[in-house]
Structure 1
Amino acid sequence: MKNRPRGERNRLAALTLVVLGPLVAELALGSTPVRMAWLLLLWLPIYGAGVLLIRELVRRFRGGWLSVILLGVAYELVEDGIALQALSSPHLYGAAGWAPRVLGLNSAYLEANLPYHVVFSVTVPILLTDLLFPRHRHVPYLGRTGLVVTGLCALAGVALLRVSVPPNQDPGYMAPPGVLLGCLAAVAVLAVIALGVLPRRAARPRTDARVPSARALAGGGFLAALAFMGLLFPFWGAAQPAFTHGLWVLLPMAAAAVAAVGTGLLVHRWSASSRWDDRRCLALAGGALIAHTVFGVVGVADTALDRAGLVVLGLLTAWLLLVLARRPPAAATG
């Protein structure tokens, strides 16, 4: 293994990230049922190539996790705003009935899916791949040709999603031009900030602030993710989040926003400490990852086979996280 060329190891890391994207975002939640796991092949271009493109661009422009997060927001706007057009559709997934629509957008659906995709479609797969291949965490995995091919695959994934899901589940709907142009403009602005502005900022000074233990972070990540999803995603036949009716839905929406913003600010603060390390980062992400599979078992899967499959997948995930946590640290290149 040590004698293999670096480029070959980078391609293995790239392939791992491509697979982890849809595996974490779709299969581990149950959005794609275990009995229909073959559908992951259809999601590989947008999820897999999409998250790989984000990582490659951030590494090439020498950005950090804030850049990844902003491009994760852009990813959500591309997937749900342009490809699926679920952000504005009055029919798809019943999302228009979750909460009052704002400026023609499905407000609760946007609030639920934006953090979800930032965390589980983008950030967690990139983090896990960086930890699996620590020697290459600060360098691109691909050359220029690979980057171009990845970008084309991601665009093809957007087109594939557009022609496969809406025609069957939301036939005839087309988002208003204002929504599409707004999404495109927002994606462009986010990309400029993520790749052009943030990498130019001076590095944050390191502090000696105390940070929670890995065990506490795992529990906190679990509770935060479970609370956020339980507050915003309707389940068990509920028409609105948290089994609310009418404008009462604003209460769980506000609580979920506080939980998401509060967790983000705490992580931003802790990550500036010299005591913040990979083990704590993995514990936080691992707790959230297990929670999101638990929510899938409770609130997403609708057959015994799918629930059993998610339980097995959750146990396997927990075992792999423990194995990864016990690996000795390795020096990173770059």
Structure 2
Amino acid sequence: MTPTSPPTASPPAAGRHVRLGRAEPNRGRVRAAWTLALLTTLCAELTFTAVAVPSTWVLLPLLLVMYGAGVLLVREAVVRCGGGWPSLVLLGLAYQLAEDGLGLQALNSPDMYDAADWGLRALGVNWTYWESQIGVHVVLSVLLPVMIANLLFPAMRARPYLRTGGLAVTGALAVLGVVGLRVFISATEDPGYRTPPAWTLAYVAAIAVLAWLALRVLPRRRPRDTPARGSRQAPRPPLVGFISLYLTMAFLTTLLPLGLGGDLLFGDAMSQPFRLIAAAMTAVPFAWLAARWRTAANWTDRHRLWLLGGILVSHTAFMMPGSWTSALLGALTLALELLALRALSRQVRRGEGPAPGAARA
């Protein structure tokens, strides 16, 4: 799920820190930053959890700080270090550990969200919940919002949105958001619970290692160009959308109860360990397909739009079977999503047509 680099400029050389030029219009940068912050909150929660749990809207200020600042910080760190989409994925994993492991404590809590009842729990960890949230947060919280922001602001795809002071404030807000999850949500949903110290240290260490790999190791290995390979062709955009819709639904229904209700699809037909394997057998080929598609000679922004549209529509539809209220809210949300995607499609068609020799990332 990776858009091309800016049509007018190649990405920075691997490992180089990017500095924001003084000539960059301040209004455009600020608009892009706020747009990404809103997009990640919409994609991660307001078009997903809020369909089945409308009270999620009450937490909008906290979610905007936690999701918006967190993902904006991830995006800015990757761009400034000259990283690409693999770096975004690794920082997305670190972000998920910070949110679910350190903030919500949902990775370990036996009671939070009834996650322990959804699947395998061993060594004090809700493994099924963890795997589901890796997919949800890496894709829906990080990759898709960044993809949409790139489509909306194509000239800034490889440029920072924030100056140094703004980056420092964003980092502070991201930390505050994680603390807010512990204080306002974890303490309410599972009062008195504390993640075992050993697991807390493990999460902190894992976050540090992932950040080091994403910001120090991968940028040095990133080639300046990833040209199209031979005559490989991606499917037509509608087929890309259908595949992404289907595989997203398959991943979610394997690990989570439809609409966050009480029953998992297929009931006891799948053992708890096998659900983890089956979900990985969906997610890994999907990621492999997306990686191959992006190197195809005919891969365009329209393909990206259908790819992200299929994922968004599927993850909203997943939440609709919970109740009549969820069905109605989901239908309204889907209608708004389709209208937004249609408007974005018009903009993509107006600006499509990358310059000859433009680099891919």
What is the alpha-carbon distance in structure 2 between the residues aligned to residue 31 and residue 236 of structure 1? Answer: 10
Instruction: Give, as a single letter, the amino acid of the residue that structure 2 aligns with 1:67.
Output: S
1:43 corresponding residue in structure 2: 63
Query: How many angstroms does 1:201 deviate by?
Result: 1.1
Query: How many angstroms does 1:29 deviate by?
Result: 0.8
Deviates more, 1:143-152 or 1:197-206: 197-206
1:174 to 194, 217, 220: 194
Note the 1:2-81 alignment, pairs <5 A: 6-31=25-50, 33-34=53-54, 36-81=56-101
Instruction: Give, as a single letter, the amino acid of the residue that structure 2 aligns with 1:207.
Output: R
- 2:245·2:314 contact (CA, 8 Å) conserved in 1? yes
Query: How many angstroms does 1:205 deviate by?
Result: 4.7
What is the alpha-carbon distance in structure 2 between the residues aligned to residue 169 and residue 34 of structure 1? Answer: 16
What is the alpha-carbon distance in structure 2 between the residues aligned to residue 298 and residue 112 of structure 1? Answer: 18
What is the alpha-carbon distance in structure 2 between the residues aligned to residue 236 and residue 67 of structure 1? Answer: 32
1:255 to 278, 286, 290: 278
2:229 corresponding residue in structure 1: 207
Q: 1:271 to 1:75 in 2, by over 3 A?
A: same
What is the alpha-carbon distance in structure 2 between the residues aligned to residue 297 and residue 202 of structure 1? Answer: 41
What is the alpha-carbon distance in structure 2 between the residues aligned to residue 275 and residue 23 of structure 1? Answer: 30
1:295 corresponding residue in structure 2: 318
1:86 to 103, 106, 115: 106
- 2:111·2:190 contact (CA, 8 Å) conserved in 1? yes
Q: 1:238 to 1:39 in 2, by over 3 A?
A: closer
Identity of aligned residues (%): 40
Instruction: Give, as a single letter, the amino acid of the residue that structure 2 aligns with 1:218.
Output: G
What is the alpha-carbon distance in structure 2 between the residues aligned to residue 115 and residue 197 of structure 1? Answer: 23
2:13 corresponding residue in structure 1: none
Note the 1:174-323 alignment, pairs <5 A: 174-203=194-223, 204-208=226-230, 209-235=232-258, 239=262, 241-245=264-268, 248-299=271-322, 302-304=323-325, 306-323=326-343
Count, aligned residues:
328
- 1:30·1:297 contact (CA, 8 Å) conserved in 2? no
SS in 2 for 1:326: helix
SS in 2 for 1:242: coil
1:112 to 132, 151, 154: 132
Task: Provide Cα deviations, 1:120-177, integer angstroms capped at 9, x if missing partner.
Answer: 1111111111111111111000100000000000000011111001111111110111
SS in 2 for 1:241: coil
Q: What is the aligned-residue RMSD (CA, Å)?
A: 2.3
What is the alpha-carbon distance in structure 1 between the residues aligned to residue 41 and residue 221 of structure 2? Answer: 32
What is the alpha-carbon distance in structure 2 between the residues aligned to residue 49 and residue 315 of structure 1? Answer: 27
Q: 1:89 to 1:240 in 2, by over 3 A?
A: farther
Instruction: Give, as a single letter, the amino acid of the residue that structure 1 aligns with 2:128.
Output: A
What is the alpha-carbon distance in structure 2 between the residues aligned to residue 205 and residue 132 of structure 1? Answer: 23
Deviates more, 1:178-187 or 1:101-110: 101-110
Deviates more, 1:106-115 or 1:88-97: 88-97
Query: How many angstroms does 1:246 deviate by?
Result: 9.4
Higher relative contact order (CA 8 A, sep 6+): 2
- TM-score by structure 1 length? 0.92
What is the alpha-carbon distance in structure 2 between the residues aligned to residue 108 and residue 182 of structure 1? Answer: 19
Query: How many angstroms does 1:281 deviate by?
Result: 1.4
